[in-house]
Amino acid sequence: MLKEKKEITMRAILISIVLTIILATTNTYLALKIGILPSASIPAAIISMSILRFFKNYSILENNLIQTAASAGQAVVGGIVYTAPSLIIIHYWLNFPYWKCLVLAFLGGVLGVLFSIPLRKKLMRDPQLPFPEGKAIAAVLQVAEDKNINMRKIISGGAVGALFDLFQSGFKVIAENFQFWFISNKAIFGMGTGFSAAMIGTGYLVGFNIGGSLLLGGILGWVIGMPLLSAILGFSDAGTSAQTAMAFWDLKLRYISIGAMLFAGLFSLLVTLKPSITKSLITCKSLFFSRKKRGSIILGTERDLPNSFILICLMSALIALFILFQNEIDSIQFNVTNVQSMTIVCCFIIYILFMGFIFAAMCGYFSGLLGVSGSPGSGVIVAGALIVAVLFNAYLGSNIGLNFSHSTMLHAEGIIILVTSIIACIAAIACDNIQDLKVGHIIGATPWKQQVMLLLGILIASAVIPVVMQLLFETYGIAGISNQSGIDQTQTLSAPPAAMIASVIESVFNDTVPWELLEIGAAFIVCFIIFHCFFNKNHFKFSIIGIATGMYLPLTTTVPLFIGSLLSQFIKRHLNANKNLTTTQKEEQHQSGFLIASGLLCGAALMQVVLAGIFAWYRNSEILRLLPESLSKYSIYLAFITTICLFRWVYIATTVPYESTLKIKTASSFMRKTVVSK
């Protein structure tokens, strides 16, 4: 009789907690910085297997549970960090209240897990769903069980990333960016670049298509769009050329890029809307009208959490939601009685349950069709926010009148964002959960054990993320908003998804959004869609959402992202062109580059959080400065040099080892033949 492989063990739980904290922390920084999250499942699988190799009798199932819990941390980030900063942007919150953020993230995550449980069997067996990322993760787990993964790669990458960021953000020896702006012929011209180990690592992970799309969007928005639109629309002098450029971006280009992101997200949603709705309806029908045969035996690989446990969790979540929204609804602000207030809360809960399940089914289908990274999550979030905002605005208009006060409007916008946050967490967790369950389905894991680890990962991430968000907000600011004096507003964390959601919801309530600018952004995206459909079928594949996001992000972010993706492309081509390497060796070398890039990202992002804690404690972001501001121009030269060295180091560390080994083997073989011939 074969010995059953271990799954839930104490070491798996402890490693899961540590990795969840690390990935939740690093991805919170990334979500606020660029609004794009690389897949966390593969790095989690590789890191956990590297750690498990120090123990005896570990199994692939343990590794799977660890990556399941850790990837849930990233999914929670994709829900709460994409939406909660909107409350800061509209000034509904002045900071991130810890317990409220924790409850929002945890409740949304729990509902996401519960909603995805009945979807599992139907989506797992759908032959039309390829599950590209799920199969890739399963392959990594299966290969990692047999291969000796070199932990030194990720440790060295983490050390380099942390040191790079320490000398940059802490000691101020390496410049963070270089920008050049000037005004000529009534137009604003300029360009810039950033120097960031985290962004280079992220670019390597997202790949050349996404990195190239981001740079293309940046060129379109900043290098071409800035002079063209400033000449057509005009601009006001805000001081220096750089300040004028930032002011024009804030007043004009910002809305154009938001229009581009909105249209790109909705377009991506519509492309896969029809099949996802059809599959969702079929799934719902089979769920509610199918019956299990009495006396049937359920295999361990098909066993979900007990129905009684699901019901208890669901009822507890509904009660918690009722209490949360009842405390948020101000009866005086909305001119309603206590009974009407309770009715509004119940309507919000019904909306969350109904739309949450629909979006969970759609995102689960997206996960199987495109993978988590390719899912149009922003389109789903925007759609959910728009629907509830329009409905609530119509209710307020009929109950209070069209001219309600600013405080009432702000209160309404805040509540809508809270509802959107929960729905976003449901959608993000469902998308991630379905993928993780597919991985377990391939390798023979137990679904209910995966679901338990998902709940653990959600709890840990929900407890960590609010602290990290508050630290980063106090230190760097978000979307031009900061509680600290002396912080450069142009260098605050962009938080693109949150800015987009805040803009959309505000536009519904005050009808002041510049529609013509949004239409310009949408027109740009339409042009690229047409070009992509007719002229670019077999070459570079654009990411429409990537282009739109690149239009929003500053060049100081998109350029290092592109550098990382270009590095990945160079290494990939170099390895493919080397005929001396076997396919397995090429995969191992590519995996080593993946480990180094993951280390760069994790090390730099963790150092950012450590520095944020130091700066927040001393209330001074210059406390560690070594290079005086008078010599800051030399930091730019050092930034260029260190970035080139970093690029070269990653390239050599990824491509050289096997080639050196091959040369040694060839030389040894030649020497043996020479000795034999003599």
Residue 676 domain flag: no
Average pLDDT, stretch 591-610? Answer: 78
CA 662 to CA 657: how far, in whole Å?
9
Residue 672 domain flag: no
CA 40 to CA 21: how far, in whole Å?
12
Residue 667 domain flag: no
pLDDT higher than threshold 90 for residue 290: no
Instruction: Spell out the residues 6+ positions from residue 188 whose beta carbon is closer than 8 angstroms to its own.
Output: 181, 182, 226, 227, 230, 235, 241, 244, 245, 248
Contact between 1 and 52 (Cβ < 8 Å) = no
Confidence at residue 370, expressed as pLDDT on a 0 to 100 scale: 58
Phi, psi of 189 (to 5 degrees): -120, 155
pLDDT higher than threshold 50 for residue 513: yes
Confidence at residue 276, expressed as pLDDT on a 0 to 100 scale: 52
Confidence at residue 644, expressed as pLDDT on a 0 to 100 scale: 94
DSSP letters spanning 548-588: HHHHHS-HHHHHHHHHHHHHHHHHHHHHHH-TTS-HHHHHH
Residue 511 domain flag: yes
CA 460 to CA 76: how far, in whole Å?
10
Q: Give per-residue pLDDT as tens, 219-228.
A: 988 999 899 9
Residue 409 domain flag: yes
**Bigger pLDDT: 422 vs 134:** 422
Average pLDDT, stretch 57-70? Answer: 84
CA 282 to CA 450: how far, in whole Å?
25
Phi, psi of 183 (to 5 degrees): -115, 130
538: helix, coil or strand? coil
pLDDT higher than threshold 80 for residue 304: no
Average of per-residue pLDDT values in the chain: 79
**Bigger pLDDT: 550 vs 126:** 550
Q: Give per-residue pLDDT as tens, 373-409.
A: 556 566 677 777 878 888 888 887 776 555 667 787 8
Confidence of residue 615 (pLDDT cuts 50, 70, 90): confident
Confidence at residue 342, expressed as pLDDT on a 0 to 100 scale: 87
Residue 572 domain flag: yes
pLDDT higher than threshold 80 for residue 166: yes
Contact between 581 and 665 (Cβ < 8 Å) = no
Overall domain count for the chain: 1
Confidence at residue 566, expressed as pLDDT on a 0 to 100 scale: 92
Confidence at residue 642, expressed as pLDDT on a 0 to 100 scale: 94
In terms of residue numbers, what domain contains 472? 10-286+300-662
DSSP letters spanning 154-220: HHHHHHHHHHHHIIIIIS--S-SEEEEEEEETTEEEEEEEE--HHHHHHHHHH-HHHHHHHHHHHII
Average pLDDT, stretch 54-82? Answer: 84
128: helix, coil or strand? coil
CA 196 to CA 199: how far, in whole Å?
5
420: helix, coil or strand? helix
Residues in the chain: 678
**Bigger pLDDT: 370 vs 234:** 234
Confidence at residue 640, expressed as pLDDT on a 0 to 100 scale: 94
Residue 309 domain flag: yes
Query: Residue 152: what residue type?
Result: R
Phi, psi of 556 (to 5 degrees): -65, -15
Phi, psi of 111 (to 5 degrees): -65, -35
Q: Of 625, 654, 603, 537, whose CA–CA distance to 198 is shortest?
A: 603
pLDDT higher than threshold 50 for residue 245: yes
State the distance between the two ends of the chain, measured CA to CA, in whole angstroms: 57
Confidence at residue 503, expressed as pLDDT on a 0 to 100 scale: 82
**Bigger pLDDT: 152 vs 108:** 108
Q: Give per-residue pLDDT as tens, 570-592.
A: 988 888 887 777 777 777 777 78
Confidence at residue 268, expressed as pLDDT on a 0 to 100 scale: 66
